[in-house]
Structure 1
Amino acid sequence: MNPLKEAVCIFINKLFDKFNKLLYKIIFFWVKIIIKISTFGLHFQYKLKNMTRFRLLLLITAFLSASYGFSQYTDVINSNRPGESMSAFAVGKDVIQTELGAYLIQEKHDLLLSELNGFGTDVALRYGFLYDQLELIGNLQYQKGLYSNLLEEKNIEGFKKFTFGAKYLMYDPNRNYKPKVNIYSWKANHKFNWHYLIPAVSVYAGANFSGNSPFNYSIEPKISPKVMLISQNNFPGSHVFVCNIFVDKIATENPLTGYVVTYTKGIGSDWSVFLENKGVQSKYYSDSILTVGGAFLLNFNTQVDISISKNFKNTPDILYGGVGFSWRFDANYKDTLDRVPEDERIAKQKAKVAKEKKRLEKEAKKNSKGKSGIKKEKK
């Protein structure tokens, strides 16, 4: 390798290592919070045991339906592709969405003097289940490649990933929120609104079913859990920031922790570009991967995309790129109207005014008929 290129790679690798360490500190901070919440949950468990079945059912129903009627359905398709992060919002109740992709991959390991060249495909199936906030997600990734080193050359193929889980939107800052309008100041209406810094928050829980995959670094059980915390900020000007913090392959010999940070910018009504960084850390493998790409909206329910990814180390050196296609079926979706309290008050007031106006029109009509009858009698 060229000494200059090697020095640049080492510098960038160190830079990303520092960035990864900072983000892992954030991860452990969240883990501590989760542990504290879990401790409180154990203390609260005694009360749950003493609850009647009816009260417990009522509590669960109230939790699930706390934001019932809040629609996450959008006019255009909302795909997770081409990045690897998961958005906080669901597709909408009874909406089916499929996201397909194909890619080419090249890996080179300078220490092992090995190389892998191959291709793969990935499929994601998303379904809005029961509520607009709840989504069932299945992910399947299949890869085939030629692996070679100084001693051998062989084909490796199989399912690299097979996961199934559910995502639920816990909090949306824009629900029941209506920005105040200052009719006296243009500047006040166009200044930065700090409310945009409050993210939408979702949680994901699922399981891996790829225990016998030839791409695993160690022998793993057939099923292993995966959990993830998801946040999303939608800023004015079609700027979207998504952050995923996850723990994968829990209770195995090689548990995996990591993050995915994605920035997306909409360009016009059809185009969007994105920049993404993914960091992972485990017993056998740690890496940071940078991805860039874009997507084009063919119609309200169809999207195509392209992306390329690269890491900044040579153990292994990874380069892959691909194209994708997303499509949704929303014929079964029934829109649910959710008004903020102020809108409800205005709507009721308008209905009351319209009713009163109708009543006055009827009275005026009756009076006019009465007057015309009196005039005829006089004649």
Structure 2
Amino acid sequence: MRISAIFSLFLIIATTSLHAQYTETINSNRPGQSQGAFAVGTNVLQFETGPYFGNDTHAGLGTDTDIWGIDYQLRYGLLFERLELNLTGSFENQDIWRDFLGVTSEGNVRNFKTNTIGAKYLVFDPNVSLGEDKPNLYSWKANQRFKWKTLIPAISVYAGANFSFGDNPYLFEGEGKFSPKAAIITQNNWGRWVLVLNFIADKLTEEYRSYAGIATVTHTVTPNFAIFGEYQAIKGEIYADDLVRAGGAYLIGKNLQFDVSGLLNFKETPSRWQVAAGVSYRLDLHKVDEFLEESSEGNRRRARTEKLDEEPENDGDGGNK
């Protein structure tokens, strides 16, 4: 009943307030761990994946763990421009060396560490709901004045379910194989700068719940190259940590992106480092007539493309117009 009610609510909201989230170029969540507020757009299928490796050294337990794995995310825009369905997960291998009171041992853990299926819905886009400011024809100073409404972010809500099958060593003792996950996502676009905030509540039906906050800042250096920095705070009875990530992404064409990143933390229980690389690819089946005029995220990209299309082309006799 609850699932039906939530789905019905999505239907009502979407049919009364439909705005395009499609962008001309791929919109990837990589290489950070946060989700952006905007969906990929209807009939867009997007795959984001990449390998990682690193090390965890736990001073208290006397363990030294080499880690390698691969994470993945499958995203699809279904029914409405503001709605996105996604599958997020990772497969991880851990080779563990333990030295406890002079007794050494080795072990190995390998399985799907996470798998979560969920839906994200954009509930508020300030550029659509509040409208864009028109230039003041009489005052240059008024046009340059700071506009407080630029601080108002786009807001999305996310609901998902973690799932696991079989005897998974990454589940703590007594943990169920299914548990809910929820998040609130905000995004501010300030020209070449983007700020994304995620507020996450995980494993809500379990005895040991987990809460996290992620802040990601991205800066576009060139039309094809961007860098990012990210801070993640995790609070839980089983695991708590403060993580920082940094890296960059390079865009090739409209539908392909490559990225690299690194991770560090600030404690010894465990001390962590990790490096990663990845690729994001978009299968773009979005129809042109679905690109609504009310879009704020997509229209910026489309305007740039139209401007490029209007530039002088070769006149056919070897010269340029």
- TM-score, normalised relative to structure 1: 0.71
- Which whole-Å CA distance do the structure 1 matches of 2:10 and 2:251 have between them? 39
- 1:161 and 2:114 matched: yes
Q: Report how far residue 105 of structure 1 moved.
A: 1.6
CA contact 1:71–1:335 (8 Å) conserved in 2 = no
Secondary structure at the counterpart of residue 195 of structure 1: helix
The structure number with the bigger radius of gyration is: 1
Instruction: State the match for 2:307 in structure 1.
Output: none
- Indicate the residue corresponding to 1:89 in structure 2: 38
The aligned counterpart of 2:59 is: 110
Name the CA shift for 1:339/1:297 in 2 (closer, same or farther; >3 Å). Answer: closer
Deviation at 1:283, TM superposition (A): 1.2
Match of 2:306 in 1: none
- Residue-pair matches, total: 282
Rounded Cα–Cα distance in structure 1 between residues aligned with 2:10 and 2:261: 42
2: CA distance, partners of 1:234 / 1:105: 32
Structure 2: which 5+ residue stretches go unaligned? 1-7, 295-321
SS at match of 2:141: helix
CA RMSD for the aligned pairs? 1.7
- Counterpart of 1:214 (choices 166, 169, 174) is 169
SS at match of 2:204: coil
Cα–Cα, structure 1 residues 173 and 247, in superposed 2: closer, same or farther, change >3 Å?
A: same
For structure 1, list consecutive stretches of 5 or more residues without a partner in the other structure. 1-56, 341-379
Q: Distance in 2 between matches of 1:217 and 1:316?
A: 17
Asked if structure 2 preserves the Cα contact closer than 8 Å seen for 1:101 and 1:123, the reply is yes
The alignment status of 1:269 with 2:219, answered yes or no, reads no
Once the two structures are superposed, the pairs formed by residues 251-330 of structure 1 within 5 Å of their partners are 251-330=205-284
Q: How does 1:6-155 map to 2 (within 5 A)?
A: 61-68=11-18, 70-150=19-99, 151-155=104-108
Q: Which amino acid aligns with 2:16?
A: A
Identical aligned residues as a percent = 40
Aligned equivalents of 2:126, 2:276: Cα separation in 1: 34
Q: What is the aligned partner in structure 1 of residue 188 from structure 2? A: 233
**Structure in which a larger fraction of residues adopt strand:** 2
How far apart, CA to CA, are the structure 2 residues paired with 1:191 and 1:300?
Answer: 34
1:192 Cα shift?
Answer: 2.0
- The offset of 1:97, in angstroms, is 0.3
CA distance in 2, matches of 1:316, 1:61: 45
Separation of aligned partners in 2, 1:114 and 1:337: 53
| 3-state secondary structure, aligned to 2:90 | strand
Larger relative CO (CA 8 A, sep 6+): 1 or 2? 2
**What is the TM-score when the length of structure 2 is the normalising length?**
0.84
| Cα distance in structure 2, aligned partners of 1:87 and 1:134 | 13
- The whole-number CA distance in structure 2 between the counterparts of 1:194 and 1:98 is 36
Q: Does 1:247 align with 2:201?
A: yes
Distance 1:324 1:82 in 2: 7
